[in-house]
Amino acid sequence: MRTLPNIARIDPPPPPPPPPAVTVAQQGGAKGTVLTLIAIIAVTALVFYLMEKSKRAGTSSKTTTNQIVPKIMEPGVSAPVKKQEIAVEIAPSIIPEDPKIAPGERVYVASQGKLDIKREADARALGYSIIDLSDEFVPFIFSDGPDKPNRYKGTYINIANDLTDEEGNKLGDKEHNYVELFGIPPSLSVLDKRFREDDAKDCFKHLNYGFFKKARFSVVYQSKRDLAKELKELRGQVRQAQKKSGKSSLTALGKTKKYGYLVKKYRLLQTKFFMVGEAQKRLRCEGLLGPYSPGVISWGTIAAIKRFEHKHMIYGWGILTGDTRRGFGRTPLDNNFRTLKRILTARITLSLGILEDGSISKVKGLKDTYKGLDGKEHKIPNLVKLYTEAVMKALKVENPAQARSFFMAVDPSIFKNFRLAVKLPPLPPYYSNDMQFSVKINRGDIWYDAPFDATGKTRYQPLMRRPRFYLHVTWQNQEIPLVRWGTTIGGWRTEVKNGKEYFAYKNSDVGPRIWKDIYSAPVWIPPRSAPPAGLVKNYFEKGRWNTRINREEIGPSFASAYGLVAAYHIRDRSDSGKPLWFDNGIRTHGSVDYMSIMRRQSHGCHRLHNHLAVRLFSTLLMRRPHLRKGQTKLIYTRSFTHQKKDFSIKLDTRGYRFVLDRPIPVMVERGRVLGKLKKPYEGYIRKPGVTYDKDDPNLGDEEKPKEAPPEEAGIKTAKAPVDEESPQTLTKGSVTKKPGRRRADPKKRLPKKAAENLPSPPDGVSPL
């Protein structure tokens, strides 16, 4: 603790009294005027002399600490106060406090790691940009309006600060909301606690980070029984080989031509076991793993690995491979530093309303320059990277060590109202408060053929071009691309008809559409065709399994079918140009199913990662005139039976609604259709594993596809013959196969790199 010197604060003297009123001389009284002016000058000089003398006296060492000194009046203070000689203890902090500036007006000006408190209005006048890093921050889409509170605002703040879960249940000291991967990053207060706790844990000092950096293989789920069986077989084969070859050493046996592969296979199994054990130590140290079997990657361990991925925003499947394995190779300090960088990026983009992240740079067929006001071509900047680096430099947190020093020095309570003022490069000239945005969605490669044949065997349907989302701004007769992100389109999905499941093709509409309505914290209204199994959720509580309505899937929730925000695709013109208003249920929205984007298909909607969707629609609303409608009203009830239990869904809102003054045009491009069918199949087909009646009425039109749906009418495409076959009866010609390619048994396959460069486990390691 530091103690301030025992000095009394000397406040500045009161302002001088106003000069005497000047008497206007009468006409012809020049002499009187001169005398009056001389008197005024003399009085003014005397006043300033007395002020200067008082000032010098106030700083004199003879001044007593118990004197009554003038005080600047503050709101609610009616009289000066008496100053006493006191000793004040304060916690070490790199942030100075100024009680004269109210918290709501206070910003922290950052430069080269130094922070100075200023008034927000003064900082803005000096050209500083304000970044909201406070605990109470919410993106624009979750903000309140006059008399229009946003229901999800409090939920967002509570989740970001680890106060409650999404259901409103209070979290314990060791419970955390690891939902950054789902669109809600932690607050700086939460990250500050993480830095401090990890720094104090001794168990992190005894982990083998280097092992994960060297490893080039993956470990997937394998039951303890299967692992023991495989180990027993390999161990027996190795011992038999040692007897036959006369080489008792594994190293010597591995150098033989006959048994080299066997030894590598055995060593790989041992090394995988060792990797799982090291990962479990890390998970236990981070408080993510409960009871476990050492070295066995059970379902409990996989669940803990998923929590590790969620905590550190790693896109993975809960297995030790790729980015997840590399995450285990980083120290907690390194991972926390990456989290800090992501938090700063999120707050910068959401506070300033910027989007350019470098995703359009060096893309074939996409121009990444624009012509400025000077007539010259300029590179479209990566504002996200540029501004994040500038803020990190201003805070002096450019590496893990600096970040640790920052959090160890700062008073954690400051983050409650921490708003940063920093000098940033100017925005490009195409930025304004009324930007002319437009959207293009390219559907990429499309297969209308069923993904399996009549026997239920999966067809090989490769995709070389995935769907892409583009946002442009039109400025000075130029269409300037801002971002290019992965998204999804529709495909073959399960639907329920008369209580039975079928497969149906869920098409993504093609052609011009508009965005008029944007909903934050949207609610998904389940269609009648939605399978009941998807509307309920099993959960374990008090030693037994229970079933309830899947509130997270319906929303409002970061895990809802529409994620944290959605824009409705509306067709506002017919093929003949007549006005209409047609909603076919297609949306561009966030998604908690982060691994489906760029890998799988949707029910027709265009999914975005939740954090990108929040960034996109917050920026659109900040940069485009709109009307805030607020929380919508809805009356919706649905009852159904699942596994002999009755359930009921009741909804009272669709979400928080914003209406754009002028719609944003959206063009969904047809893409490249592969396979034999050139048009979407309408109707139902059999789902593998489901038994149907021979005269099932829902399969009556299976043998013949209908004409193209109305949403594709009028779109100019290459002429294709109408195929009369069922998508399931297609055999030759519907699949593009790579000759000679055959998948190997994953249990028998040995990664080449792993076999060549195996990290050796410590001596004496035994898988079981």
Residue by residue, DSSP assigns 227-270 as HHHHHHHHHHHHHHHHHHHT--SHHHHHTSTTTHHHHHHHHHHH
Give residue-wise pLDDT tens across range 298-321. 889 999 999 999 999 999 999 999
What's the pLDDT score for residue 108? 95
What's the pLDDT score for residue 424? 96
Of the chain, the percentage scoring pLDDT greater than 70 comes to 78
What's the pLDDT score for residue 474? 98
Lowest-pLDDT range of 298-307, 559-568, 673-682, 715-724:
715-724
What's the pLDDT score for residue 4? 33
What's the pLDDT score for residue 760? 54
Lowest-pLDDT range of 447-451, 471-475, 529-533, 634-638:
529-533
pTM confidence score: 0.79
Question: Is residue 211 scored above 80 in pLDDT?
Answer: yes
What's the pLDDT score for residue 727? 45
Return the biggest CA–CA distance within the chain. 134
Q: pLDDT band at residue 95, thresholds of 50, 70 and 90?
A: low
More confident residue, 221 or 381: 381
What's the pLDDT score for residue 94? 65
Question: Is residue 529 scored above 50 in pLDDT?
Answer: yes
**145, 423, 510, 514, 522 from 517: Cα distances, Å:** 17, 35, 19, 9, 11
CB 447 within 8 A of CB 419: no
Q: Environment class of residue 474 by beta-carbon count within 10 Å: exposed (0-12), middle (13-18) or buried (19+)?
A: middle
Of the chain, the percentage scoring pLDDT greater than 90 comes to 59
What's the pLDDT score for residue 765? 52
Lowest-pLDDT range of 36-40, 473-477, 655-659:
36-40
Q: pLDDT band at residue 93, thresholds of 50, 70 and 90?
A: low
**73, 312, 333, 408 from 401: Cα distances, Å:** 44, 18, 8, 11
CA 642 to chain centre: 34
Dist. CA 653–CA 633, nearest whole Å? 5
More confident residue, 587 or 722: 587
What's the pLDDT score for residue 98? 66
Lowest-pLDDT range of 200-204, 513-517, 636-640:
636-640
Lowest-pLDDT range of 379-393, 638-652, 710-724:
710-724
User: What average pLDDT does the structure give for the chain?
Assistant: 82
Give residue-wise pLDDT tens across range 126-146. 999 999 999 999 999 999 999
Q: Report the 10 Å Cβ neighbour count for 296.
A: 22
Lowest-pLDDT range of 125-134, 398-407, 594-603:
594-603
46-55, 65-74, 158-167, 574-583 — most confident range: 158-167
Question: Is residue 391 scored above 90 in pLDDT?
Answer: yes
Q: Environment class of residue 656 by beta-carbon count within 10 Å: exposed (0-12), middle (13-18) or buried (19+)?
A: buried
Question: Is residue 554 scored above 60 in pLDDT?
Answer: yes
What's the pLDDT score for residue 599? 78
CB 553 within 8 A of CB 562: no
Residue with tokens 């949207």: 522
Question: Is residue 89 scored above 80 in pLDDT?
Answer: no
Q: What is the mean pLDDT of residues 379-407?
A: 97
More confident residue, 278 or 766: 278
What's the pLDDT score for residue 515? 98
Question: Is residue 92 scored above 50 in pLDDT?
Answer: no
What's the pLDDT score for residue 78? 37
Dist. CA 279–CA 290, nearest whole Å? 13
In order of their start, the domains of the chain are 1-90 (no CATH), 92-203+339-429 (no CATH), 219-320 (no CATH), 436-712 (2.40.440.10)
Q: pLDDT band at residue 91, thresholds of 50, 70 and 90?
A: very low
What's the pLDDT score for residue 42? 52
Give residue-wise pLDDT tens across range 706-741. 444 444 444 433 333 333 334 444 433 334 344 444
Determine the length of the chain. Answer: 768
More confident residue, 668 or 101: 668
What's the pLDDT score for residue 747? 47
Give residue-wise pLDDT tens across range 187-202. 999 999 999 999 999 9
**155, 313, 567, 694 from 614: Cα distances, Å:** 15, 16, 11, 48
Measure the N-to-C terminal CA separation of the chain; round to a whole number of Å: 52
What's the pLDDT score for residue 543? 79
Question: Is residue 643 scored above 90 in pLDDT?
Answer: no
Dist. CA 516–CA 623, nearest whole Å? 15
Q: pLDDT band at residue 596, thresholds of 50, 70 and 90?
A: confident
